[in-house]
Chains A and B, each alone.
Chain A
Amino acid sequence: MITSINKDIMPENWYNVVPDLPEPLAPPRDSKSDFSSINLLNKILPREVLKQEFTFRRYEKIPDEVMEQYQQIGRPTPLIRAKNLEKFLDYNGKIFYKYEGATASGSHKINTAIPQAYYAKNEGVNGVTTETGAGQWGSATALAASLYKLPAQIFMVKISFEQKPLRKIVMNLYNGNVVPSPSNLTEYGRKVLKEHPDTTGTLGIGISEAIEYALDHDYRYMVASVMNVSLTHQSVIGQETKKQLELLGEHADVLIGCVGGGSNFGGFTFPFIPDHPDTEIIATTADEVPKFSRGEYKYDLMDTGGILPEVRMYSLGADFVPPSIYAGGLRYHGASPSLSLLINKGRIKSDEVTQDEVKEAIKIFANTQGVIIAPESGHAVATMLKYIKEHKNDKKTIVVNVSGHGLLDLSIFGDTQ
């Protein structure tokens, strides 16, 4: 096990998979014919973030200031061999987990929140704003903004806001401002509230609200996931994992992660794409949000309001409102274009798991490894348990990304325990 604060494990560059894709990525497209939503990005994203979204360098140097904050919030994160779990499953192969729950904000989300807030700060804007589902992204945004002394306005999907009051406290502690979305702070929010007063909210609505807020207040919008730049920043996860495995003399046969918009998954697995052609890579989603099996691979809106450009991705439709599953972070209707392309070309496989399987996986993980993992990550672990059942005698080395801890999601175990 390698857990020490070891600078050598951290990469100096972010890795961008686009130049290494098997086919060209379809460019983002304007969703409306009368104005350019691509040009609009100039006004809502920090310039450097936008540049990184479109320049497609294979390697982008991580600024020293960002590197320093990465260390402050707990990078590199541990890669732990789950020996107890191996024993429990009577598995003859090896199981490793990369533990992103060990960061200060409790999930991988901080990996892209820090550089985005850093670039926004450098441009001297008024603040940053974003949407959040389960609250992990909102917490990371609030923390990153607070590190750079920027105000943060966070639109939290209404149902999560109501179900997860502790998240709001966390964000407030980090000096973040949080409102349930749809909210009265934006025209779009007011419109949705008027048309659907009982709506539970969606990430798509939250995105539209945050963007409108950014435009009206000279804030910058923080990109949680889906857009390429967030996957690029998250590549610290996979690059560290590669290095840690190398130091242990191990080779990953299988990589498993969960997919909301694809940021932790892409960050974890893409660094393996160029030089691990034989590594099996599996993306997990919830049964209730079957984007890869039942979604269509097509141009679709990233946000419900259609302010952002369209991208080609697997999508269940931008107005898809999923049932309220345990993992708020997995309710998004689509998945990052680069990940979608790799799934479409068969390089990455997908799996779906039920809520019961997720709950069981979280329990098993807690009982064996002691870590209470996020419900999102519980999906990845559930897929791994299925995989091991089906490949009992294969002796593979499986690495799963545990994208966050679940200490603020315990209510899912409530009375049913």
Chain B
Amino acid sequence: MKNLIPYFTLGYPDNQTLMKFLRIMPVNKINYLEFGFPSNDPRYDGPTIRETHKIGNKNFNDNLYKDLFSYFHKNRIKMYSLSYYSDIKPKFNEFIDYLKSRSFSGIIIPDLIIDYYSEAKDTINYLNKNGFEYIPFFSPATPDKIIIDISKLTDSWIYYGLQPSTGIDIPYELDYTTERINSLLPGREITYGFGIKTEEDIKSLMKSGGSGVAIGSYLEKMLAKNDESGFLEYINRIRGALDA
């Protein structure tokens, strides 16, 4: 089964609404969940997600989500944190301990290899030692050698962004993009994200060997509109495209 990974920024649009949508989430249709911990500087996100961080930052209250986190854990939905290194660096170890205490499986750090390349290796090794998954995050702009070197440090799945940032719509060549990452990392589990919209895109990504997709901006818009049925319908459609 291909992986469907919905993304939510914690605290957006407000805690109650987000919790309501999480409760109606059909756990049999999704595989992992990605939670954005509100960032002071979500620099590699597009306008939609950036806005969610701004609002999430004001609202987010960890205590409220405790039960939901453990509910997903019990339902075998792996949870990953999306956190910016610029935010968590000062208290990195504590933050990882906290995530573990909330049953998270791993972490995606979009700015680690871009802005803190010299610290990346040690950081990844620390996570390995602590039994916490580091999910490498790459984009078409990541140099070949970096993709190979960083991937070697872990055996987790890979998060491959199709766009320079979330919710951006720049023309890209799907075939070339998938060919490139497949040839650099043969046999590796690749999940695509950043700017995936159409079901056609999803079908071709899966046909080329992709193992799943992460979706974010579109869901956040549904939450903002409080559109429960649209939300469920969208999850169903994506699930369908993945399994087609």
Q: Spell out A's residues near B (CB within 8 Å).
A: 18-30, 33-36, 38-39, 41-42, 47, 50-51, 53-57, 299
Contact = CB atoms under 8 A, between A and B. Distances in A.
B47 A41 contact: no
Contacts of A19: 143-144
Given A55-B173, A55-B176, A29 B165 contact: yes
Contact of A24 (B43, B114, B163, B165): B114
Contacts of A33: 47, 50-51, 54
Contact of A30 (B46, B54, B113): B46
A39 B168 contact: yes
Contact of B144 (A20, A42, A47): A20
A27 B173 contact: no
Report the contact-size class of chain B (Cβ under 8 Å from the partner): 20 to 34
A50 B171 contact: yes
Contact of B117 (A23, A29, A36, A57): A23
Contacts, number: 88
Contacts of A26: 114-115
B170 interface: yes
Given A20-B143, A24-B142, A55-B177, A41 B50 contact: no
Interface of B: 43-44, 46-47, 50-51, 54, 113-115, 117, 139-146, 163-165, 167-173, 176-177
A28 B114 CA distance: 12
Given A20-B143, A50-B171, 7 more contacts: A21-B143, A28-B164, A29-B44, A30-B50, A51-B171, A51-B173, A54-B171
A27 B164 contact: yes
B68 to A, nearest CB: 29
B47 A34 contact: yes
Given A30-B46, A33-B50, A57 B176 contact: yes
Which 3 residue pairs spanning A and B have beta carbons closest together? A27-B164, A21-B143, A51-B171
Contact of B113 (A24, A51, A57, A299): A24
A168 B141 CA distance: 39
B154 to A, nearest CB: 17
B44, B51, B113, B114 pick with most chain A CB within 10 angstroms:
B114
Contacts of A299: 43
Contacts of B54: 33
Nearest to A57: B176
Contact of B170 (A25, A34, A35, A54): A54
Nearest to B177: A55
Nearest to B162: A54
A29 to B, nearest CB: 6
Nearest to B184: A19
A34 to B, nearest CB: 7
